[in-house]
Amino acid sequence: MSTERVTGPDAKVPDPHVIAVLLGQHARVKGLFARMKATAGQDRQEAFGELRALLTAHETGEQTVLRPVSAEVVGEKIADARNQEEKEADKALAGLEKMDTTSPQFDAAFAQFEKSVLAHAEHEEAEEFPTVRAHCTDEELQEMGQHLLRADKIHPRTRLRCLRSGLGS
């Protein structure tokens, strides 16, 4: 499952609030981690494939749509820390892709990867999402959600409007 799901019958296209989309993706990532633990063989390999695709789309979306806004309203230090964590997760994922998913080495590396990814998601949910939500109007958040679902780069105008609406708050 990846972002193409948004075109399906359970799509939430009319109201793709960026934070709701991102939280929904976090929930799906957690579900896939659980599935990795509960399955074996081919099923587990498939779950890993879905997790890889979802994480790649999710982190790319955050870097292109969310982070330019959060760098301004939350601060560059926090935005840089989140970008760095995503870079490291990317490297870890590339390492895992080369391993045999049935090997003990994979299990050990994957357990560490899960820990890092979940800690990263918690940082975002605690330090980043609430502030972005507070600084942008619903319309702006929906516009960002649309960009995210289309995997676009954020439009500079969206960014500027968000920043303006954050002034004095």
CA gap 141, 147 in Å, rounded: 10
Q: Taking CB positions, which residue lies at the least distance from Fe ion?
A: 62
Q: Which stretch binds Fe ion (CB under 5 A): 9-17, 56-64, 108-116, 145-153?
A: 56-64
Q: Under a CB-based contact definition with an 8 Å cutoff, are residues 65 and 148 in contact?
A: yes
Compute the least distance from the CB of residue 55 to Fe ion, in Å: 9
Comparing CB distances to Fe ion, the nearer of 50 and 107 is 50
Q: Does 62 interact with Fe ion (rule: CB under 5 A)?
A: yes
Could you say which residues in the range 116-135 bind Fe ion, by CB under 5 A?
124
CA gap 77, 83 in Å, rounded: 10
Comparing CB distances to Fe ion, the nearer of 84 and 102 is 84
Tokens linked to 62? 């955050």
Residue type (1 letter), 102:
T
Q: Which stretch binds Fe ion (CB under 5 A): 7-15, 38-46, 61-69, 158-166?
A: 61-69
Rounded alpha-carbon distances, angstroms, from residue 52 to 42, 56, 93, 104, 123: 15, 6, 7, 19, 20
Q: Under a CB-based contact definition with an 8 Å cutoff, are residues 62 and 149 in contact?
A: no
Tokens linked to 158? 């969206």
Comparing CB distances to Fe ion, the nearer of 120 and 135 is 120
Comparing CB distances to Fe ion, the nearer of 67 and 159 is 67
Rounded alpha-carbon distances, angstroms, from residue 42 to 102, 120, 149: 10, 28, 29
Q: Which stretch binds Fe ion (CB under 5 A): 6-14, 34-42, 59-67, 108-116?
A: 59-67
Query: What DSSP designation does 7 have?
Result: G
Compute the least distance from the CB of residue 164 to Fe ion, in Å: 25
Comparing CB distances to Fe ion, the nearer of 59 and 143 is 59
Compute the least distance from the CB of residue 42 to Fe ion, in Å: 28
Q: Footprint of Fe ion on this chain (CB under 5 A)?
A: 59, 62, 124
